[in-house]
A and B are shown apart, each in its own frame.
Chain A
Amino acid sequence: MSSTLTSTLQSAGPLLFASDPAPGGGAVLFAADVTRARVVAFELPAETGDVVAADSGTPDSGTPDAAAAAVRVDQLGAKLASLLGVTPDDVVIRGLAVHPVTHAVYLSIARGRGADAGPAVVRAGADGELDVVDVDALPATSFDLDDAPAPDDERQDFWLDGTDTGSAPREIQGVTLDIAQVPSYRSSITDLAWIEGSLFVAGLSNEEFSSRLRQLPYPFDGSATETSVEIFHVDHGKYETQSPIRALTPFDGGASILATYTCTPVVQFDVSQLKGEGLVRGRTVAELGPMNQPFSIVSYDRDGEEFLLVSNTRHPLLKIPASSIAGQAALDLPLSEEGSSMGIPRENLDHPGVTWMASLDRSNVVVVQEEAGDIHLRTLGAAEL
């Protein structure tokens, strides 16, 4: 049987748009091909005005002040399965990104299993319509990570997000977690961030200090700055170099990165320190609680103030004021010790079931939300956050 599987990508992984629109109103979509340890940059042409204007009435200029149309797709899981011709069990979201000009939402999907398994990129427009993005037809460039773990690297990573078919429920200290043990190359790329013309790629490397933050200039020129990163893990009570960043976002105008890890430290890195030399220690500023894996972290503005949101497998959606981060001394005591701290304040938000998130604009966040046996695409405005 002739296969129409997309060939540009072999596996589904994190997605991200370069936040600056390309000349002519196009955009650059980065897709992580995790099993090949490759980042592919697709050049999307400008979309036509009617698509943009479907809900908002006027074409979006892409300026920060333009009100973006809220994207909403109910029964997203069932619709993605139908679009891709499979049952809902065979659809797993592995990434979410928002087009910087049209505010259409792009989803990275692992579709099917066995011989027919493969990645797909799906676009959800402001009108709620779903379409498969024909990435093979787009101009693309790619960057292969030279520091990724080999497929037979015997080190492992643990996923708690239920996105691996091999995950199984396991009870730990009375809490049932969905745990998958995966070879470390499956975590070669865990998240992407865009900061002033550079793509930041978090994940595991083949080095002894395996947690890495790489910086790739775009357009790709073959160069990369690869920095091993170390953090103090409050729940584990020790410094760690092996656990990968699960989600990261720039904040403070791009001067800093806020990264979150499983079980669940939140760590600040100065972008200026990530120079590819030695082992850089981040500043652990919060402990969000054990037996949990963060899905996404995003930054948004409310009433002129910057906040960060962290979505989680087990803990609620958490809100952190960005202004509290600068003054927080590095956490370096295990929770069991006297004087230990959970760090900066956080607030639980009442939006249960939020998993993947991406910024629609500075005051709206697109989320995938589990509710009533399916998942739904919703837009949460700053007023609700």
Chain B
Amino acid sequence: MVTELPVADGSRVNDPLAVWEGGGIRVSGHALPEVLAVVPVSALALGGGLQPMAGRWVRHGGAALFTPRFPVVAGSGYAVVGRVDARQPWIELARLDRPSVRLERRTVVDRIDPGGSEVPANLLRFSVTFSDAMEEGSAAGHLSLLDAEGVELPGALLGMPPELWDRERRRLTVLLEPGRIKRGLQPNVQAGPPLEEGDTVTLAVDARLRDVSGAKLLAGVRRTYRVGAPVRSRVDPALWEVRWPASAGDALVVRFDRPLDRALVRRCLIVVDEGGHPVPGEADLDAAATSWTFRPASGVWAPALSAPALSAPALLASSLSVDTRLEDLAGNSVRRVFDRDLSLEGSDDSVAPGTLILRSDGSVRTSSPDV
């Protein structure tokens, strides 16, 4: 319960008058007390130990403007209190409510990955990218995987929390239940794999997810996939088609042997120069996540080309660094298969963690993580 402070003139009168002005509060009236403070109404219970809200007061004539150090909270009540000096008790002068804001729904889903029309039966994750930052904690229960009839596949998606947001809180990663994907684990044996080859499934994102302002999405979104054969082999960069740039300004184009995970492609593929330093430029992955194009920032490769005799070797020296953590849609990485068949002898073709360097002469070099 809130302890009431003494109120000016014996009633909660509107004299002095307090009104919102921008993010602050303007107080006006006859003979405002020497000491003024604002507190959340809930903090009036502190009584004599009242703690003023942090902020700045500017007095001007018969009025005083309070600018809070932190933004006031929509939907909360605040009280203006005053006293003649530090030895006197606080007196409540006015109360005002910060209205709840009407939330504008404007955030949409920009992209759902995988971006192709088919996913492997052992698909590990979806990711949903929004047009604006989202509120962490609002996703649980608002994403679902539906079968061809539109009925939710129970237990297919891994329960949240935690919600796996990127640093900007614009991309949400949603995992399929890994225990049902890995063959032989109890959830897989009992409930079966979440996706069956030949099925049609739909990821549904409903509009009740909230963005960082608290508003719901402008609209819900669905994306439907055919379920193809499971993929159970390592991502092998030796199988990629690489088109190295033939002349200055040309792009480096890599065609993968299968769709890869978009977020990991961004992190794990780096074009490096002879000294191993990243080459500035812009990388682009097509919607199906099978073709990756890197365009160097203008002028980056040109200096080497300006001396004709050196041009070819300089270009050949450019390399593509591949972090072995790079994964495909089923969680198979360059390092290892996500769900290796332990009964097959010699099936472990895992490679050491680190970095693979693809060079334009077709060679592949490894470097350990400590180098």
Contact = CB atoms under 8 A, between A and B. Distances in A.
B162 A78 contact: no
Nearest to B331: A154
Nearest to A87: B42
Given A152-B164, A166-B162, A181-B161, A4 B69 contact: yes
B32 interface: no
B50 interface: yes
Which secondary structure characterizes the binding site on chain B?
loop
Nearest to B74: A116
Nearest to B38: A85
A120 interface: yes
Contact of B68 (A85, A87, A180, A208): A85
Contact of B53 (A83, A87, A112, A156): A83
A82 B267 contact: no
Interface in B341-371: 353, 369
B150 interface: no
Contact of A85 (B54, B135, B267): B54
A50 B183 CA distance: 70
A79 B45 CA distance: 10
Interface string B219-252: 0000000000000000000000000000000000
Interface string B129-147: 0000001110000000000
Nearest to A132: B54
B50 A114 contact: no
Contacts of B184: none
Of A1, A207, A208, which is in contact with the most chain B CB atoms at under 10 Å from its CB? A1
A150 interface: yes
**Count class of interface residues, chain A:** 35 or more
Contacts of A208: 353
A112 B23 contact: no
A48 interface: no
A86 interface: yes
Interface in A120-172: 120, 130-132, 150-152, 154, 156, 165-166
B166 A151 contact: yes
A81 B71 contact: no
A134 to B, nearest CB: 8
**Count class of interface residues, chain B:** 35 or more
Contacts of B35: none
Given A78-B51, A79-B51, A82-B51, A4 B68 contact: yes
A53 interface: no
B265 to A, nearest CB: 13
Contacts of B137: 165-166
A3 B296 CA distance: 38
A292 interface: no
Contacts of B162: 156, 166, 181-183
Contacts of A88: 42
Nearest to B125: A154
Nearest to B56: A4
A183 B70 CA distance: 28
Given A81-B40, A88-B42, A130-B51, A114 B212 contact: yes
A165 B162 CA distance: 11
B46 interface: yes
A79 B52 CA distance: 8
B297 interface: no
A130 B53 CA distance: 10
B73 interface: yes
A148 to B, nearest CB: 10
Interface stretch (B167-175, B200-208, B300-308, B310-318): B167-175
B70 A116 contact: yes
Interface string B62-90: 00000111111100101000000000000
Contact of B45 (A78, A131, A132): A78
Given A82-B43, A152-B166, A180-B161, A112 B171 contact: no
A2 B136 CA distance: 23
Nearest to B212: A115
B40 A87 contact: yes
A355 B68 CA distance: 30
Given A3-B71, A115-B214, A130-B51, A152 B46 contact: no
Given A85-B40, A85-B54, A151-B167, A75 B70 contact: no
A3 B53 CA distance: 16
Contacts of A130: 51
B288 interface: no
Given A81-B42, A152-B164, A114 B51 contact: no
B153 interface: no
Contacts of B254: none
Contacts of A21: none
A330 interface: no
Contacts of A156: 162
A85 B74 CA distance: 11
Nearest to A128: B49
B148 interface: no
A117 B154 CA distance: 34
B165 interface: yes
Contacts of B175: 154
A132 B213 contact: no
Given A82-B46, A87-B76, A151-B167, A1 B51 contact: no
Contacts of A132: 54, 69
A196 interface: no
Contact of A183 (B22, B40, B164, B263): B164
B173 A85 contact: no
B161 A166 contact: yes
Q: 8 tightest A-B contacts by CB?
A: A82-B43, A79-B51, A82-B51, A132-B54, A151-B167, A85-B53, A181-B162, A151-B166
Given A36-B167, A78-B45, A86-B70, 10 more contacts: A2-B22, A5-B71, A78-B43, A81-B42, A82-B53, A85-B73, A87-B40, A116-B73, A152-B164, A152-B263
Interface of B: 22-23, 38-40, 42-43, 45-46, 49-55, 67-73, 76, 78, 135-137, 161-167, 171, 173, 175, 212-214, 263, 267, 353, 369
17 contacts: A4-B67, A36-B167, A78-B46, A79-B49, A79-B51, A83-B51, A83-B53, A112-B73, A114-B214, A115-B135, A118-B70, A131-B54, A151-B166, A151-B167, A152-B171, A166-B137, A183-B164
